[in-house]
Structure 1
């Protein structure tokens, strides 16, 4: 599988399980994502799970559904707590598979 992507089981991402990997200069992890059911509109749509150094599956982040203020379009963001990693999910260039989402990193707003 290509790195910095998540392959979901269906194009209806909100309800789908998925798996992928995230690689940066400081970490390289395989992840599993599981949908979360919640009535809280601020709750994540998915739990992000990674493996500990001893191989245990550990919750390490989440995926949230957001809405663009200007266009009203829905999009998803991902965070990995231990690394302070944040990203948007979206289609990678030249790919048509709606179940495959690229992990597109972004830094904190106060970074220079």
Structure 2
């Protein structure tokens, strides 16, 4: 499920990651201009409050660079995951959505930025 924030003309979207389910988390990779391709694992987090993330995101073995929350679309009722990635090389955090790829086994990490210049 990818939530739309306007018409196709005013939103740019890009797949920046591909994942497969692994136990109760996910494994795959994230690719950005700043990071290149990074092997990534997403593991369940111990939640201390309702606002705490459901998952933590790690690059390589143990470098945490993001968090993920379970969400449900109000429009369709489908579940998806809201992702926030951050790294000192980024000018700002990256917000993305992890969605199941229809007709395939796997998930895509979709980044989008609204063009409201």
TM-score (norm 2): 0.67
Q: Pick from 45, 50, 56: which aligns with 2:59?
A: 50
| Higher relative contact order (CA closer than 8 Å, sequence separation 6+) | 2
How far 1:39 sits from its partner (Å)? 5.6
TM-score (norm 1): 0.69
Q: Distance in 2 between matches of 1:24 and 1:92?
A: 20
Matches within 5 A, 1:29-108: 29-38=38-47, 40-51=49-60, 57-82=62-87, 83=90, 84-92=93-101, 94-95=103-104, 97=105, 100-107=106-113
Match for residue 17 of structure 2? 4
Runs of at least 5 residues in structure 1 that lack an aligned partner in the other structure: 11-15
**Aligned pair in 2 of structure 1 residues 40, 93: CA closer, same or farther (>3 Å)?**
same
What is the root-mean-square deviation of aligned Cα atoms in Å? Answer: 2.4
Q: Distance in 1 between matches of 2:116 and 2:35?
A: 19
Q: How many residues align structurally?
A: 97
Runs of at least 5 residues in structure 2 that lack an aligned partner in the other structure: 1-15
**Aligned pair in 2 of structure 1 residues 72, 91: CA closer, same or farther (>3 Å)?**
closer
3-state SS, counterpart of residue 28 of structure 2? strand
